Chains A and B, each alone.
Chain A
C-alpha cells in the first residue's frame, strides 16, 4: 500500500509481547543427519546473501530486478521491493543478531511461539479466540 502512496503502518510482534525471530531455514531430519555439509553450505550461502543485502541494498535490489524483469510491468513494484527490503532489514537489526551473528535465533522464542499457537489455534475450544485473532478489530487503533 505504501508503495502506491497509501499511508500505512506496521506493528511488530514484539509490541504485543510476542518474541518472534522471523524466518527459518527448514530441512528434513534425515537430510541433516546424512548430509550436514549440504545443510551448512545452503545456510552459509543464504546468510552471505543476507549480509550482502544488509550492506549493499541498492545493488541487491538491482540484482533482484534483473532476475525478476516482469517487475517492470508494475509501476510500483520497484518501490514495493525497496520498502519490503527496508522493513525486513529493520526487523533484523536487533541486539541478538549483533551479538550472536546472522541467522542466530533464540530457542526460547520458538517454545513461546509454539505454546501460543497451541493455545490459540490448535484447540477446538478456541474457535472464538481464533476468530478474534484474525479480526482487524483486534489491532490497536491508529494514533494518527
Chain B
C-alpha cells in the first residue's frame, strides 16, 4: 500500500488567518507553565 499524497488530503487553505499577539502568547505561556513539571 502506498502513502497517499499529502497535498491531496491536507490543506492550510483556511488556516493561519488568526494570529495572537506576543502579549497574548506571553499570557498563554504564563498560564500553562504550571503544567511543565508534568511533562516527562
State the CA gap A57–B27 with chains docked (Å): 11
Beta-carbon contacts of A2-16 to B below 8 Å, as 1s and 0s?
100000111110010
Number of B residues contacting the other chain (C-beta, 8 Å)? 29
Interface size bucket, A side? 35 or more
Q: Provided the pairs A10-B38, A86-B34, A107-B10 are in contact, do residues A101 and B16 lie with their beta carbons within 8 angstroms?
A: yes
Say yes or no: A105 contacts B1, CB within 8 Å: no
State the CA gap A44–B22 with chains docked (Å): 21
Q: Is A79 an interface residue (CB 8 A)?
A: no
Say yes or no: B35 contacts A118, CB within 8 Å: no
Residues of B within 8 A of A (CB): 1, 3-4, 6-7, 9-10, 12-20, 24-25, 27-29, 31-32, 34-36, 38-40
